[in-house]
Chain A
Amino acid sequence: MSASAIELRNISCEFGSQKVLWDLNLKISVGETVAIVGESGCGKSVTMKVMMQLLKPNSGQLKWFGQDVRTLTVQEQRDQRLRLGYLFQGAALFDSLTIYENVAFGLRQVGRYSEQQIQQIVVSRLEEVGLDIEIIRKRPSEISGGMQKRVGLARALALSPEVMFYDEPTTGLDPVNSRRIDDLIHSVKQAHGVTGIIVTHDLRTVQRVADRIVMLYPRRKLADDDSQVIFDGTLAELASSTDARVKEYVGDELNATPQKTSPSHKVTEAA
């Protein structure tokens, strides 16, 4: 059995009187790419933010690489968090900084790299996500949404994380840019062996990049003792699931034969 990268045990998360997550259990193993899917309001993004500890759950246990996060000191938490990268839904680039400064942000915070090393890493990461180096002096508002997503990915990858979180990576992008991002997610896994956790509505992305699919269901529609995870399996199992809720969500979108992104596909070509 492979080691766990991220583990949630009996996690509950409420906002006011609204229960978003209730007694959720989920384990992500090292090296796998897991897609978390489900209808709007089922708690996908909240689950991911809890995993990253950007939101604190009301109860339950979060483990990073087998260690209970609550037992870590503030400094240890910060060090452990550097092993995790996060691509935000809207990229969340800092408006007041240039593209270069955005990608260099995490490296500067760590404080163990010289400015020359930072420059090398920034350039290599931007090239890796297929962006022209000429954009480094621009502000986020001066580049397109697809480019912002790729800069966000370069920023997240700058610290060479072992686990990458992708929050709705293709939402709001045209099909060409969506494919580019899917290719990047795949190439990041191939090149760096990064564990991936993707929250998405886009079943094409799921088809292309996921090893395992977890489907959540809104807590308000479930009985108290029902699990919020209504599906946990491979793409083939998802396509053949007999659960009415799963079938309703998937519809006819999944093809009989999954179309995984070719590992040999070059990101720069797509760009």
Chain B
Amino acid sequence: MTTSAIQNPINTLGRATQAFCGGFGSLIVFALRMLASVKRGLPRRHVVVPILYEVGVRSVPVVLITGTFIGMVLAVQTYQQFKMMHMESRLGAIITMTLVSELGPVLAATMLAGRVGSAMAAELGTMRVTEQVHAISALGADPINYLVVPRVLACVALIPLLTAIADSVGILAGWLFSWQVLGINSHQYWMYAVQFVTGWDVAAGLIKSVFFGCAIAIIACQQGFHCGAGAEGVGRAATQSFVLSFIAILGLDFLLTVVLNNTYYLIWPEAVSLATSFSGFALPGAW
């Protein structure tokens, strides 16, 4: 094997690492510029309200559909497994727990990264290509404050709310399907749901969605602001925005789950001993 043949994959890996670090650094710088812009003043109401409407109200149908199907799919999938263990009456617990802590926030954020994030990247990208971003600067305004801050605020405020809607609709759809189609007792469904799912689980899911919302908005705006020339550049920015947001959602989900679980066991240490005695083995650390 020649030296160049060995060097090529190393070069490729090096270039990819460089591109990743450069991209990540650019994202951090962009987020810091956004924070600095917030410090100088918040955008005006007439700028924020249409974005709140676009991000919030117009996303409700997508979130309702997503939540409904997640709830029903969870019911179908878990019913068979639980029936084999004669635990089908506890379907409410698993559906509610899975929805509020994991699937609800992650899938709602993924849907919103596609619907809201890509649209933001394409809109800002088009504004950049047609010099509208420069026009904002030329008219004495700060483009970051005018374009980015309202979008980040809207996503941070409304994505948790949309996640809560997805969770609620999913739980209701799961209950309706379990009760009407699978023949699960309605009272037992709700009893186990309330018994197993704590306020912390609900809060943890919503805390995650705040971070997801922030990540989606910052990534989308950064991709739009730095998009390449022409229609191809705008299209690529929209695609990149979704792909990067999805990776960020999954990465943040893992990190936040670890951090929130540790926080939970730090606040309620007795929960660790309970979990250990129930499952029969101890997880390393507080994982």
Contacts and interface: CB of A to CB of B under 8 A. Distances in A.
A145 interface: no
Contacts of B126: 95
Nearest to A84: B138
B137 A109 contact: no
Interface string B97-138: 000000000000000000000000000001100111011011
Interface in A37-66: 49, 52, 54
Interface in A145-159: 155-156, 159
Interface of B: 40, 50, 126-127, 130-132, 134-135, 137-142
Contacts of B127: 94-95
Contact of A81 (B130, B131, B132, B140): B140
Give the interface residue-count category, chain A.
Answer: 20 to 34
Q: Which of B137, B138, B141 has the most CB of A within 10 A?
A: B138
Interface string A74-109: 100011011011101110111110000000011001
A89 B135 contact: no
Contact of B131 (A85, A92, A159): A92
30 contacts: A52-B138, A54-B138, A78-B140, A81-B140, A82-B140, A85-B138, A86-B135, A88-B131, A88-B135, A89-B131, A90-B130, A92-B132, A92-B134, A93-B132, A93-B135, A94-B127, A94-B132, A95-B126, A95-B127, A95-B132, A105-B139, A106-B140, A109-B139, A109-B140, A109-B141, A110-B140, A155-B139, A156-B138, A159-B139, A159-B140
A155 B40 CA distance: 25
A54 B131 CA distance: 10
B6 to A, nearest CB: 28
Contact of B135 (A78, A94, A159): A94
Contacts of B137: 54, 81
